[in-house]
Structure 1
Amino acid sequence: MKVKICGITRQKDAGICDILGVEYIGLNFWQHSKRYIDIEKAKSITASLKRSKPIGIFVEKDLEYIKTIIGQCSLSGIQIYAGESSVFCNEVKKQFPRYMIIQAFRIKDCLPGNLADFNADYFLFDALSDSYMGGTGTTFNWDTLKLLKPYSYKTFIAGGINAENIEQLLSIINPFAVDIASGVEISPGIKDVEKIKLLLSKIKRISNEKSS
């Protein structure tokens, strides 16, 4: 199982993730986010990475904005929050076919019924919030994830995940990846290296126990 540390805003934190072997880091280009990163900082961070793959997070349905960002930053993937219509997601995949496309859904108690309509490489399921797009620090009803098993191989799970509850989550589903922001932070956008290490250690232990 892979790990994505989302809401990276500092070169230092990106470097730590890279050294520790975190597979993906998330850079939030939504200007209303507490973890927003500007293009210049993102450009510097993406150029420095050796192992971690940078994923750009976008909320507005604006292809030109996405083009501007990926034209300056060396992104590996595009994560979009575009509601439950597949139209924008499929257009993004058409426009940027060589990028990993992650369609994010904000859910509470039920899953979208039209997942097959989305031409996305991966799905991400996050907690629903009236105010924020990700990074809320709250979980959703994980029992709904039992219905996701046919898609688990292409699923990221986000929303309030931390070292204390990761074992509970992985007892329900074995996703492609987990996505953590607030669960490894001191404050929004400022990561805690010890929390990252503890989370990675727990995931490794759980994975080893499952494979033994």
Structure 2
Amino acid sequence: MIVKICGIQSVETGRMAVEAGADMIGFVFADSRRKVSPEQAARIGKELPAQVKKVGVFVNEPIESLLDIVETAGLDYIQLHGDETPDYVKAINKPVIKAFSVASEDDLKQLADYQCEYYLLDSPAEAYRGGNGTAFDWSLASSEAISREKLFLAGGLHSENVQQAIGEVSPVGVDVSSGVETEGQKDPIKIKQFITAAKRGQ
């Protein structure tokens, strides 16, 4: 089970996530209370082991700007949470994780249009695209047409429900941000509990 801890804003939190067993860490470059600069992300990334993949989270970023940020921050993956088109995805020279807000089965039909490394199923957007701490109906993701090897699950996950979510959806990875926070800050105990729960039974 690949575990991504998103919304990392400091070297200390990045190291904490890695020591707890995170496989990926996410830097948010879109409007969010967790937003970081490309330079911040680069500084944090340089302090982490090379095998831990660095993911940049973007929403409708102009392609030229996105590619500049990717270079400056030293990103391994690009996670897109906006209305990016299949052609936009093709223009990126890094592996892409394309996020889709899931409110009904119809929302899953879009996946077939995108050629990307992973598909991330998330809750419908609220104030921000992603990171809202609410779950969607996981049974919607049970379609056999979706390749489990390419599927990440996000939205309202925490240590108490992640095993149930994995059991229902069988994703290759899970992505969490608010579910490992206390009063808006990453909580080392919750990070450890989440990763332990997500990787249980591997």
Q: Which residue in 1 is equivalent to 2:26? A: 26
| Counterparts in 2 of 1:84 and 1:114: CA distance versus 1, 3 Å | farther
TM-score of the two chains, using structure 1 as the length reference: 0.88
Q: Is the 8 A contact 1:29 1:57 kept in 2?
A: yes
| Counterparts in 2 of 1:85 and 1:186: CA distance versus 1, 3 Å | same
Unaligned runs of 5+ in 2: none
After superposition, what is the alpha-carbon deviation per residue over 1:98-152, rounded to whole angstroms, capped at 9, x for unaligned?
x221111112222331322211111011111232111100001111011156411
Cα shift at 1:84: 7.1
TM-score of the two chains, using structure 2 as the length reference: 0.92
| Helix, strand or coil at the partner of 1:57 | strand
Q: Which residue in 2 is equivalent to 1:109? A: 104
Q: CA RMSD in A?
A: 1.6
Q: Is the 8 A contact 1:82 1:89 kept in 2?
A: no
Structure 2 residue corresponding to 1:191, chosen from 179, 183, 186: 186
Unaligned runs of 5+ in 1: none
Q: Which residue in 2 is equivalent to 1:203? A: 198
Q: Which residue in 2 is equivalent to 1:35? A: 34
Q: Which residue in 2 is equivalent to 1:65? A: 65
The letter for the 1-side match of 2:23 is E
Q: Which residue in 2 is equivalent to 1:78? A: 78
Q: Which residue in 2 is equivalent to 1:55? A: 55
Query: Share of identical aligned residues, percent?
Result: 32
After superposition, what is the alpha-carbon deviation per residue over 1:138-193, rounded to whole angstroms, capped at 9, x for unaligned?
001111011156411101100000011112212212111000000101233x2111
Mapped partners of 2:6, 2:187: distance in 1: 13
Cα shift at 1:10: 1.5
| Helix, strand or coil at the partner of 1:140 | coil
